[in-house]
Structure 1
Amino acid sequence: MAAPNSSLTAFSADVASLATQASQCTVALRNRGHAFSGFYWRPDVIATAAELVSTRPGDRISILTPSHETVDGVVIGRDPSTDVALVRAPATASAATAAPSTVPALGTLVLAGGRSRHGATCAVGFIGLTGARWRSMRGGDVGPRIWLDIRLRPHAEGGPVLDAAGQFIGMAVLAPRRRVLLIPAETIERVGGELLTHGRIRRAYLGVGLQAVEVSPRSDKGAGQSGLMIISLDPDGPAAKAGLQQGDIILRNADLAQPASVDISRSSQHMKINVALAERP
């Protein structure tokens, strides 16, 4: 009989230890007939994938805890633009421990935890892609683009992802074309904080209807400049109160921070107008 490979045995033991650690914070949720996973983000708050939570804030959702208890949770809020949802639940397990806010390196070994009605599950893989920050189709700032080279079963979507050191680095979600995305821990922290405080993500509101236009054409000296023409104004909105007018062209390099300093072109004259953005009604 061949002697056991000590390196493989040690690796197997390390993976088993990671799986056990992930299982201690991972829950199974059931919402309108759909089963998926989540994890204790705070001692009494579960995070999961927003696209899987079809109920409204305040509604109840069934949770199977790491100790195999079935309890009711209450939806705190959800942000479909970043795919983050929070559920208030009894404090029955420890929360995931987040890694330092750094992008995991390409090729890093990861473990995705999940939970089905039969028990805890896991899948092992690697960071398959790391890219620049990106926004979802719904406009949410998801953070760095990270793909997982891993086989994720539907019931495990919304579960935690740990690195080889056992630290929480994000949440695994399914994407089109069978890709598995990582919603980074720092994104969950940022969005989750808003949901805990306000129950929703507050969006800045300018109060204008816009149409893309060309300000100056492309030439041999370089690219042209484009902008956004104001075609309608909310008379009670921030833009109208600041003096913006129909026909003004907001230049694409405008700083839309809070408060917004908006660079515009009006009758071929460039000017800057300060606008105090409001929350979207």
Structure 2
Amino acid sequence: MKNLSPRHFLTASSIALLVALSAAHAQQPATSQADAAQAAANDNKPLAAADSTARKEQVMPETFADLVEQVSPAVVNITTTSTVASPIAGGPQLPEGSPFSDLFREFGFPGFPQGPDGSPRGGPMQEQRSNALGSGFVVSADGLIVTNNHVIEGADEIEIEFFSGKTLPAKVIGKDDKTDIAVLKVESPQPLPFVKFGDSDKARVGDWVLALGNPLGQGFSASTGIVSARNRALSGTYDDFIQTDAAINRGNSGGPLFSMDGEVIGVNTAILSPNGGSIGIGFSMASNVVSKVVDQLEEFGETRRGWLGVKIQPVTEDIAESLGLAEAKGAMVTDVPTGPAADAGMKSGDVITNFAGGEVKDPRDLVRRVADAPVGEAVDVTVQRDGKPLDLKITLGRRELAEGGESAKPGKPGEASPSKLMGMSVTEVTPELAAEIGIPTDSKGLVVREVDPEGAAADKGLAPGDLITEAGQRPVVSMADLSARIDEAKEAGRKSILLMVRRSGEPRFVALPIG
């Protein structure tokens, strides 16, 4: 018997239903692209604003043409112009630091380049105009446009070309380099066709998506694919990228990624490619991140993110076990500098499990939710401390005002006699040793001297010069303290002990096995 796929088992009733649906579709009146755009503009409603509240199983459409016609009037090409310096053709090229630099400046080379201290260097230069291309999309009838920050970074002039061919100058309303999002504004005598943001959290791996933009300066272009992956993090603090195999190339940056409902679920931002062209791995910043940034840039011209004032790390399985936690989730607090969390009584070693009424999955989840929370408002935060939940009320600060800090000098091993334990050699810190490893001379704790490359400490990333300040969430200043903490953990039935380790001034928790 040959293997049959499910398509061989269509019943007569199924065929009749398909015929009826096809006939109903054929009877629907066609709407031209111009009619759709004009209707949306007149009604001040987003394009493709059909009710999409009911989630439907997606099937491969016969064509994407209807969707493209609906949303394309809101997609724009962006041309930026900036001034750059380039060597004067035929002019003398002087080595850096040449004694003739001032001479050539005085005799007619005003574009001569300068070093960081204002001194001339290199050869004589002239100013030239440089153009760059990108994409964007209109999100309001009064001309608000979203694109990538890197599309308009450093631009002196920005010109928007609409699908109709009309062009308008644009000004920057605000930009955010953390999410690579910028908001522009054009003035139009008539309402503009626009699209709206959808809920990117509803996008599933395998869903169909449509990307529109201006790839490689070729003008308006459409490409389709599926959602390949969700919640990708590239390099930013607030990254939440949708990965897609829809073709995205240079020039697509800032363009929209549409769901089949005609809603924007992502902003095309980056590609992974060894040759600069699409190989089917593109990344779009999720709309649920972008829409919040756009709202703040529109209202304030800048972002205003919440700030908790803690340093955190993931809760691993061994850390969870050492603390007696049922699950390895939440965000573990490694340090509480002066700030909102310290004012509310949060301590190093607390595990944040709930923020503003929602469960905290991991540090990345917490960072995004804190950033989205209103600045200056009190939020409820639950932490696990000493095996029990503790509720705190914390008034959030503003991240942009609190960012900054100092980095400590890198440490190096001390010279005192070490003791071996858990795959490493440690010694008590002294003022002389503290000075050598670049920490305050009054520091207390145990300095890691050596690490067995095949031992437990090496497996957990410890290195010579690390400073152990706590064990079992209690301070340690001597080997006797560390031994006592290990004995207590064994008596409590623990398989590992939690250490607070500081490296170059940065704290983190490490759970080492004590079996």
TM-score by length of 1: 0.70
Which residue of 232, 237, 245 corresponds with 1:149?
Answer: 245
Shift in alpha-carbon separation, 1:176–1:265, aligned structure 2, 3 A: same
Which residue of structure 1 aligns with residue 153 of structure 2? 54
Structure with the bigger percentage of helix = 2
Which residue of 244, 265, 268 corresponds with 1:172?
Answer: 268
Q: What is the 5 A alignment of 1:5-24?
A: 14-24=63-73
Shift in alpha-carbon separation, 1:256–1:50, aligned structure 2, 3 A: farther
Which residue of 114, 117, 123 corresponds with 2:213?
Answer: 114
SS in 1 for 2:295: helix
Cα drift, residue 16 of structure 1: 3.4
Amino acid across the alignment from 1:274: K
Cα drift, residue 114 of structure 1: 0.9
Equivalent pair of 1:213/1:229 in contact (CA under 8 Å): no
Cα drift, residue 112 of structure 1: 1.1
Alpha-carbon distance in 2 for matches of 1:243, 1:87: 42
SS in 1 for 2:236: coil
Cα drift, residue 94 of structure 1: 0.4
Which residue of structure 2 aligns with residue 27 of structure 1? 76
Equivalent pair of 2:355/2:381 in contact (CA under 8 Å): yes
Alpha-carbon distance in 1 for matches of 2:314, 2:65: 58
Cα drift, residue 76 of structure 1: 1.6
Alpha-carbon distance in 2 for matches of 1:213, 1:15: 43
Percent identity between matched residues is: 23
Alpha-carbon distance in 2 for matches of 1:110, 1:255: 34
Which residue of structure 1 aligns with residue 193 of structure 2? 94
Alpha-carbon distance in 2 for matches of 1:229, 1:108: 39
Task: Single out whichever of 270-279 and 103-112 deviates more from structure 2.
Answer: 270-279
Cα drift, residue 39 of structure 1: 0.6
Equivalent pair of 1:76/1:199 in contact (CA under 8 Å): yes
Alpha-carbon distance in 2 for matches of 1:18, 1:159: 16
Equivalent pair of 2:173/2:185 in contact (CA under 8 Å): yes
Alpha-carbon distance in 2 for matches of 1:102, 1:265: 32
Shift in alpha-carbon separation, 1:81–1:220, aligned structure 2, 3 A: closer
Which residue of structure 2 aligns with residue 188 of structure 1? 290
Shift in alpha-carbon separation, 1:69–1:205, aligned structure 2, 3 A: same
Equivalent pair of 1:238/1:275 in contact (CA under 8 Å): yes
Amino acid across the alignment from 2:251: H
Which residue of 319, 322, 333 corresponds with 1:228?
Answer: 333
Alpha-carbon distance in 1 for matches of 2:160, 2:212: 16
Shift in alpha-carbon separation, 1:69–1:118, aligned structure 2, 3 A: farther
Aligned pair 1:40/2:89, yes or no? no
Alpha-carbon distance in 2 for matches of 1:269, 1:110: 46
Equivalent pair of 1:76/1:195 in contact (CA under 8 Å): yes
SS in 1 for 2:163: coil
Alpha-carbon distance in 2 for matches of 1:100, 1:218: 36
Q: Which runs of 5+ in 2 are unaligned?
A: 1-21, 27-59, 83-130, 274-278, 357-377, 402-515
Aligned pair 1:201/2:303, yes or no? yes
TM-score by length of 2: 0.42
Which residue of 393, 418, 422 corresponds with 1:274?
Answer: 393
Post-superposition Cα deviations, 1:54-97, rounded to whole Å, max 9, x if no partner, equal 249xx752222223233221112223333332111124630014
Cα drift, residue 23 of structure 1: 2.8
Alpha-carbon distance in 1 for matches of 2:353, 2:305: 17
Which residue of 250, 254, 258 corresponds with 1:158?
Answer: 254
Amino acid across the alignment from 2:79: R
Higher relative contact order (CA 8 A, sep 6+): 1
SS in 1 for 2:211: strand
Alpha-carbon distance in 1 for matches of 2:270, 2:319: 42
Alpha-carbon distance in 1 for matches of 2:308, 2:209: 42
Which residue of structure 1 aligns with residue 94 of structure 2? none
SS in 2 for 1:261: strand
Please give the root-mean-square deviation of Cα atoms over the aligned residues, in Å.
Answer: 4.2
Shift in alpha-carbon separation, 1:90–1:65, aligned structure 2, 3 A: farther
Shift in alpha-carbon separation, 1:125–1:101, aligned structure 2, 3 A: closer
Post-superposition Cα deviations, 1:137-180, rounded to whole Å, max 9, x if no partner, equal 322163xx532112212112211223445444332222445621
Shift in alpha-carbon separation, 1:271–1:98, aligned structure 2, 3 A: closer
Structure with the bigger percentage of strand = 1
- Aligned pair count reads 259
Which residue of structure 2 aligns with residue 3 of structure 1? none
Alpha-carbon distance in 1 for matches of 2:355, 2:333: 13
Cα drift, residue 230 of structure 1: 3.6
Alpha-carbon distance in 1 for matches of 2:305, 2:323: 40
Cα drift, residue 204 of structure 1: 2.2
Shift in alpha-carbon separation, 1:148–1:134, aligned structure 2, 3 A: closer
SS in 2 for 1:138: coil
Which residue of structure 1 aligns with residue 381 of structure 2? 261
Alpha-carbon distance in 2 for matches of 1:147, 1:213: 24
Q: Which runs of 5+ in 1 are unaligned?
A: 1-6
Equivalent pair of 1:81/1:137 in contact (CA under 8 Å): no
Cα drift, residue 260 of structure 1: 5.1
Aligned pair 1:77/2:164, yes or no? no
